Structure 1
């Protein structure tokens, strides 16, 4: 059971809640804050004060005063009219993360909701009822209005939900489980949709997958180094300490550890004086990607605990201010940075694939073919990798540099952060496939070396992967191999974290 406070949610806790389906509860201190801020909202309604979003219209309609008897109806109209999302739904795990993050923001006590709203979100999360939320339609400022409106629809018993891996109407699942829809009161609709939780939820899921992929990329690169008799001297600690980037230093340390007892890697001058950049510069390139991921992680953990709706009830209820915390620019920039970091892991991987299959660049059979000429071997796998890398380049164009005014120019600069987060997820999927192709090619290259000379770590990985993709003894439909191995990479966890902190210790592969 994880207790939410609105201030302390970590990415690892999000992982436990989203992936492991751990149950949640709200901290007693947060309950008190929720109740206090709600009292402020009800006092405003009773006293007839004019406060944006409580008794006014929204966006360009902010100057339209809403009568007391209509403030509840205003919230229902808001949710239904703003539920304009289109396209394929977000993955179910992103929907779950979105609910969690929205709840964590609301219980900070700045939003003026009733406990009923927080309790409803808690129930949905614990019962694993996840809103079906279309991916497209958010500008990433004024919050993720369209996606979060589809989330809010479910709280009031409308829209559709994922439940036990199928899609149902919310009404049918609520009836089945005895859950009552909530009736939104003053400010609650706006509090639910004014926020950055769509882009942040997708961003968190991106990060949790990217972290795994980045570690896997190092393992796969190590196999390629063995398959090409790469020069291990380029990973000497002194080189990387001389430059000083911690991430670069750590990548070199991990590669050295993985290959510590390998007899397939070489030293400079044995076979060649130096390797191509795609081998020699693995720590520099992968390390730079890790820098981008570290930046993203920091921003996501801040945003996961941020108050991002508008207006906010501040200073113990004494101050209510309309501001702009819903603007997604911090996450938009982070997602664009993440896109570049992931794309570069795939880009350098594709260059290593080329070195594995091109007979002009190695001493292996052309295209790793069992019968060169009669059989094409891995020739077209490199084409596929190149296509995916090229697609990544178009997706990596920053979404955050674009802005289109909305709401009659009241909302005249927007972040497009949700587009950036979605594109990052697409790049991530493409990159995993590129790495799967490199892994297939690296293992095939190793078939032409002495497998007994592999390091103990890479040998363990090799044996695991050979259960997924057999040796290429003749041409077959390689698409099936790529997809099967891609799925295995997504579901497996072989990362640096499996090793004890003692760098001399032996680790195994957990997969």
Structure 2
């Protein structure tokens, strides 16, 4: 990705695109806004003051079902470190570097909003770790959508010098008695993974429009299904966007190209509606993520405006979990259309070519195996699309009796990204072979640019052979296809 200059951390205007770029390319370009650091200092002073004359959850008390247990005044200085140690119980594989960076960037921005009450040194320490690319070891599991306590505790202990750094390192940061819960009280790990998975899925949805345009061209599709007049009559935003993209990709905004059929199969004809619903689900998720990564959602909230602490349930993440469930279900429908179009490409009645696009002796299999690969990936995608929000958990002696399972929704979304990529790649292999065999003359439009790019990568050998390398190559083509659909690097 291009270097777009410094990204200022203010606590209120961090973009998902910035998180993706910084997480994958390194976060050395962040700048912590001095005004944000002053908000942190004011909130810290207020939290300390409030703790001297009343109970503040997690500062003067235990946590969870221990909420009414007062911290021993003689051992109050140890309280913060005890909380971090007791909660740093994550398990499973370690998060990849990009996910850890995303976690740290989001948590730094949330703390910069000034609602946690942590000491400024903890914020500047997290900032220093990011700018030097010093990354803690964070386990992937141990979260249920009510705060990423285990993951954030591991980060906190690393900042304090009690856990080893995965890369780099900074001088240890002092953890005060009230800093631990204030630092842990966030869903930053889940949000980081969600931002990255959503970015990948958004690009695949864009690439899918390019692949569909190639299949449309191979099948001699009808442009009527994408006409502006059709979609203005029922103007869902995503459908309008997808139909317009297809017109642009195919170069037929102002003309009606001849079609082979009065009406196409659903894989072509209902593509704007199905892909449009997924696009709207993706847009809704982006809006939710933008709110979450800029939120002061710590429990308790230390509010400098009113001079009070507020105990609440802002750690709950139903919006995020439900949006992810919605998006996965919508993408499952889009992937089903891709599988249907691949089957269309094997049908002589639709392609006017040999069955399975085979060119060898009678009985040759051509691209037959691609349907098996597609249906395998689609089956896994379908299971991953199942909703997580139908479950629940009751923990901490019954006090905490609801969970969104947003982390599980994120993991299943990552599976959808992986499997949908394979489904699209199989369709792409079939579409390029069909176009080669048919000799269709493509218009001077982005669909031709996509074809020219693909034929330089995908083999023109149509003999029966192992297609695994070609599927892998097609998967890698989807990234430049996403750029092409956006019109950013057409022809590159």
TM above 0.5: yes
Which residue number in structure 2 is paired with residue 502 of structure 1? Answer: none
Structure-1 residue corresponding to 2:128: 123
Asked if the contact 2:204/2:482 (under 8 Å) is kept, the reply is no
Write out per-residue CA displacement over residues 158-190 of structure 1, whole angstroms, 9 at most, x where no aligned residue.
445443xxxxxxxxx33xxxx211121122111
Indicate whether 1:2 and 2:7 are aligned. yes
State the partner residue of 1:252. 243
Q: CA deviation at 1:48?
A: 5.4
Selected match of 2:35 from 15, 29, 45: 29
Partner of 2:226: 235
Q: Determine the C-alpha separation between the residues in 2 that align with 1:48 and 1:196.
A: 30
In 2, the alpha carbon distance for the partners of 1:91 and 1:339 equals: 22
SS in 1 for 2:144: coil
CA, structure 1 residues 450+415, in 2 after alignment: closer, same or farther (shift >3 Å)?
Answer: same
Structure-to-structure mapping, 1:203-214, within 5 angstroms = 203-214=194-205
Residues in 2 aligned to 1:109 and 1:317: alpha-carbon distance in whole angstroms: 13
Counterpart Cα distance in 1 of 2:99 and 2:113: 22
CA distance in structure 2 between the partners assigned to 1:315 and 1:40 by the alignment: 7
Matched, 1:55 2:60: yes
Asked if residue 340 in structure 1 is aligned to residue 344 in structure 2, the reply is no
- Does 475-484 or 396-405 show the bigger shift? 475-484
Alpha-carbon spacing, 1:39–1:498, altered in 2? closer, same or farther (3 Å) = same
Q: Which TM-score applies when normalising by structure 1?
A: 0.90
Question: 2:366·2:464 contact (CA, 8 Å) conserved in 1?
Answer: yes
Alignment match, 1:40: 46
How far residue 429 of structure 1 moved from its aligned partner, in angstroms, is 1.1
Deviation at 1:233, TM superposition (A): 1.7
Alignment correspondent of 1:85: 90
CA contact (8 A) 1:258 1:455 kept: no
Report the CA distance between 1:354 and its aligned residue. Answer: 1.0
**Larger displacement relative to structure 2 (343-352 or 451-460):** 451-460
Note if 1:509 corresponds to 2:488: no
Gaps of 5+ in 2: 1-5
In 1, Cα distance between the equivalents of 2:153 and 2:394?
20
Aligned-pair Cα RMSD in Å: 2.2
Q: Any idea what the Cα deviations from partners look like across 1:388-416, whole Å, max 9, x if unmatched?
A: 11111111111112111111111111110
Task: Say if 1:321 and 1:88 are closer, same or farther in 2 by CA, change over 3 A.
Answer: same
Deviations 1:178-216 (A, max 9, x none): x21112112211122111212211111122112211111
Paired with 1:62 and 1:278, the residues of 2 have a C-alpha distance of 56
> How far off is 1:483 after superposition?
2.2
Mapped contact 2:268–2:341 kept (Cα < 8 A): yes
- Residue in structure 2 matching 1:278, options 253, 264, 267: 267
Match of 2:77 in 1: 72
Partner SS state of residue 326, structure 1 = coil
| Residue pair 1:405, 1:413 contacting (<8 A) in 2 also | yes
Structure 2 equivalent of residue 148 of structure 1: 152
- 1:372 Cα deviation after fit: 5.6
Equivalent-residue separation in structure 1 for 2:35 and 2:182 (angstroms): 20
Give the corresponding residue for 1:369. 358
Residue in 2 that maps onto 1:349: 338
In structure 1, stretches of 5+ residues that fail to align are 164-172, 500-506
**What residue in structure 1 maps to residue 316 of structure 2?**
327
1:441 to 415, 418, 430: 430
Query: For the residues of structure 1 that align with 2:330 and 2:162, how far apart are their CA atoms?
Result: 39
d(CA) in 2 for partners of 1:469, 1:162: 39
| Contact 2:211–2:424 (Cα < 8 Å) also in 1 | yes
